Amino acid sequence: MRAGVGVCGLWVVALGVLGVWGSGVGAWGSDDELLPWDAAAEREHAGCALVFGPAASALGASLRPWLTEQVPQQGLVVAYDLMQDSDALVYPPRPRAQSCLGAPPSRPPPVAFPHALNAAALPQFLELVNAACGTFLAPDGGLTALGRAVKDQQARLFYPARHAEACPELDAASLDSARFWRDYILPARPVILRGLLADSVAMTKWSNEYLRQTFGTQAVHVKFAPLGQFEGIEDAGLWNARPERIPAAVRAQLAHPELVVVRPAHRDMALRHFLDFVETARVVNRTATAYLEYTEMAAHFPALLPDLPPLPITAELPLRHQNLWLSDGHTRGKMHFDPFENILAMVSGQKRLFLYAPTNNSLLGEGHIPEAELTYYPHLDEFRRHRLQEATAMVMAAVDIEAPDFADRHPLLVQVPYLDCTIQPGDALFMPAFWWHEVQSQPDADEHRNLAVNYWYEPVWTREFPCPTCDRVYNRHIYGDALLRHQAQDQPHTPPAPSYSHHQPH
């Protein structure tokens, strides 16, 4: 699955991801001194800053030691400004990830504490600090209950332990919402949900013939790629990508200026013509594979939505998108991540996915990679490298795990544990936000197609991107105290030990 937010224009400002819980510079000054706050200090310090005015500078000095002790990793600065009117201004941290490369990320504007700042107002002040800075400071000098729960849960985040480890799996009928949160959502643990769609009307109703009769004249946006390879990487030199085409200041910030992400050709066509293309793929010798990918169902196929069962296990997850995916079953969605909780459910065919934890961002080459776009000429069945775009991909890997020289070029990545997951018709796979995955599809035996739906939800654990060293943080702006409500007092339930596969993805 490839989320649309994974692209930005090189010279266009785009929306970044909020949330900070990571490394930064240490606090400045001695325990009894406040840093003078001016324009130079604001430019130099990227972390959160608490700037006290004349009436509150003494209180700020007394708070400084324990404030900086609680959040040393975030580089909290406690400073004073004798010229400011407010008793305290809170400067949120400057984003670490640069969403687009035209200008460095700017710090959000400061927030003024609207009351007189004294000991009695400290709880209100800390609420403002926590909201702006991503901290969990409590008036007693420790962490809030939510902060303690987040710290505990971060230690329980799941990571594969074996090379080609089989996905955990369970019977979807045996799963309730409380267990799903406790054992899979909160620890960000992928799991196959066998039979999630087994009783869905979609399993028998959504034949090609039904789709043709019901939606045949409807226009759909179709992607075309050679030999089923969608959004892979190539040598930029193949695209006549002259360095001078990209401004020097932008090029210097590219993680991999030697590569491009190859975006597929695309065209609008009637659904019946797309189905003709899919159905003749096995008898017509073509280079091109056609794919109806991440097509928003509410906008394009609302009549199909009632055919899908409700998912009580995700009732507390705000749904962002529900998408349809249809192809001839010979597609490869190359390695990438999505900034959403993801449930991918199969209607026909199968998908095999290789999942890498979000701790492997640097090894997988996270960063801005220039995009290039193919053109497809149907009458020739020929692709041509069309143009280098003024945009970058932000969620695609800079490695190809199917490349013949993969092991030689990426010896460290070859040793990294990952999950090997295959889902069949009626099954679903829960993929936590920001897990890297490659998707390899196979057709069904009857209609020679691959049909799936997926659900993207707001992430419970979020992070800035592209930023290989940015850790995931609890998304309290969306989920508030949900972690406290769902976190069990005992150890998480351990599902039955799965069997382990020894398939290699490269």
Domain co-membership, 470 together with 412: yes
Q: Do 43 and 108 fall within a single domain?
A: yes
Which residue pairs from 360-364 have beta carbons closer than 8 angstroms and sit at least 24 positions apart in sequence? Answer: 360/413, 360/416, 360/436, 361/436, 361/467, 361/468, 361/469, 362/468, 362/469, 363/399, 363/410, 363/412, 363/413, 363/416, 364/335, 364/397, 364/398, 364/399, 364/413, 364/436
- pLDDT at position 499 over 50: no
Residues 227, 174 share a domain: yes
One domain for residues 327 and 475: yes
Q: pLDDT at position 1, please?
A: 58
CATH number for the domain that contains residue 342: 2.60.120.10
C-alpha angle 425-431-435 in degrees, rounded to nearest 5: 135
Share of the chain above pLDDT 90, in %: 71
Residue 416: predicted pLDDT: 95
State the sign of the Cα–Cα–Cα–Cα dihedral 205, 209, 215, 221: positive
In terms of domains, do 453 and 341 share one?
Answer: yes
Using CB atoms within 10 A of its CB, is residue 27 exposed (0-12), middle (13-18) or buried (19+)? buried
Q: Does residue 497 sit within a domain?
A: no
Q: Once rounded to an integer, what is the mean pLDDT over residues 366-381?
A: 96
| Last residue of one domain, picked from the residues 111, 143, 175 | 143
Same structural domain, 329 and 417: yes
- Looking at the structure, do residues 169 and 139 belong to the same domain, yes or no? no
Which band of pLDDT confidence, cut at 50, 70 and 90, is reported for residue 22? Answer: very low
Cis peptide before 104 (omega within 30 of 0): no
495 located within any domain: no
- State the pairing for strand pair 382-393/461-462: unpaired
pLDDT in the model for residue 241: 61
- Predicted local distance difference test score (pLDDT) of residue 29: 34
The pTM of the full predicted model, rounded to 2 decimals, is 0.89
User: Of the candidates 187, 189, 77, which has an alpha carbon nearest to the alpha carbon of residue 133?
Assistant: 77
Q: Which residues contact 101 (CB under 8 A, 6 or more apart)?
A: 8, 10, 11, 249, 250, 253, 254, 368, 392
499 in a domain, yes or no?
no
Q: Do 341 and 198 have their domain in common?
A: yes
**Cα–Cα dist 388/10, whole Å:** 12
pLDDT at residue 430 tops 60: yes
Distant-in-sequence, close-in-space partners of 58: CB < 8 Å, separation ≥ 6: none
Least Cα distance to 165 among 357, 334, 432, 346 occurs for: 357
Q: Is residue 157 a part of any domain in this protein?
A: no
151-195 per-position pLDDT tens digit: 999 999 999 999 889 999 999 999 999 999 999 999 999 999 999
Domain co-membership, 88 together with 225: no
Residue 309 and residue 208 in one domain: yes
Neighbours of 506 (CB within 10 A): 16
Question: Does residue 26 fall inside a structural domain?
Answer: yes
Ranking 21-30, 57-66, 110-119, 171-180 by mean pLDDT, the lowest is 21-30
Q: Tell me which of 30-34, 92-96, 131-135, 220-224 is least confident.
A: 30-34
Partnered with residue 461 across adjacent β-strands are 474
Whether 491 is in a domain gets the answer no
- 208-215 vs 271-279: helix axis angle to the nearest 10? 160
Give the per-residue pLDDT at 252.
85
> Measuring CA to CA, which residue among 338, 331, 399, 401 is closest to residue 365?
399
Instruction: Dig out the tokens for 422 from the structure.
Output: 């295959």
180 residue type, one letter: F
Please indicate, yes or no, if residue 154 is contained in any of the structural domains.
Answer: no
Give the pLDDT score at 272.
98
Q: What is the pLDDT of residue 62?
A: 85
pLDDT for residue 17? 25
Domain count, the chain: 2
Q: Rounded CA gap, 449 and 348, in Å?
A: 7
Q: Is residue 102 part of a domain?
A: yes
The residue segments making up the domain with residue 52 are 4-143
The residue-averaged pLDDT of 95-111 equals 84
Give 217-271 pLDDT, tens digit per residue: 999 999 999 999 999 999 998 997 665 577 787 888 899 999 999 999 999 999 9
The domain boundary residue, chosen from 80, 111, 143: 143
Residue ending a domain, choose from 84, 108, 143: 143
Examine the domain organization and report whether 74 and 191 are in the same domain: no
Based on the fold, state whether residues 201 and 128 are members of the same structural domain.
no
For β-strands 288-296 and 419-423, DSSP reports them as unpaired
The three-state (H, E, C) secondary structure of 336-397, written as one string: ECCCCEEEEEEEECEEEEEEECCCCCCCCCCCCEEEEEEEEECCCCEEEEEEEEEEEECCEC
